[in-house]
Amino acid sequence: MSSPAQVAPKFPDSIFRAYDIRGTVPEFLNAETAYWLGRAIGSQSLAQDEPNVSVGRDGRLSGPELVEQLIKGLADSGCHVSDVGLVPTPALYYAANVLAGKSGVMLTGSHNPSNYNGFKIVIAGDTLANEQIQALHERLKTNNLSSGTGSITQVEILDRYNTEIVQDIKLARRLKVVVDCGNGVAGD
């Protein structure tokens, strides 16, 4: 993939949404865009004194390639990445709060069709939205990107996450549950 010395490609404005970065794969999101988004997110995280970033993904078929390049981009920016793997979005937010740092990126297409994917981002405990998402786009346009040597660590978070839920939640009665796993982790 791209080296840190190169300049980011032009990104379409349409993928930078109000609450996330998302688009169709491979037309708008692919390995190259994932790498450069990792560089931009890592640069912003470092600018906020947050060198540690947790990363998770959902079960979409495009996920493994995109998350690999996202993580590489984060590490090439100088961040230390905790790869929590295939997890539901709340588990990624949990990891971002309990592991080193308060930052994370979830690769997920959410409720969108399976040919979509996207990035939900939290830096220093704040979920990025609106102007903060646009600031990442501006970093890419101006090549205002950090370079460094980060690290990548695989972290098992689901057991810890599930244990905490079981300890914290006490149900008054039994529940009846219906599940639609459409492209979610539970459907994998």
Helices (H) and strands (E) in the chain, counts: 5, 7
Which residue type, as a one-letter code, is found at position 73?
A: G
Residues 6+ apart with CB under 8 A from 117: 22, 23, 25, 29, 60, 62, 63, 66, 107, 108, 109
DSSP-derived secondary structure letter, 124:
T
Q: Which two tokens stand for residue 49?
A: 């004194």
Amino acid at 70: L
Among 106, 104, 119, 123, which Cα is nearest to 47's? Answer: 123
103, 110, 146, 147: the catalytic one is: 110
Q: Tell me, what amino acid is at 80?
A: H
Q: Which residue has the tokens 């865009």?
A: 33
Token output for 177: 């549950």
110 is catalytic: yes
Positions marked catalytic: 110
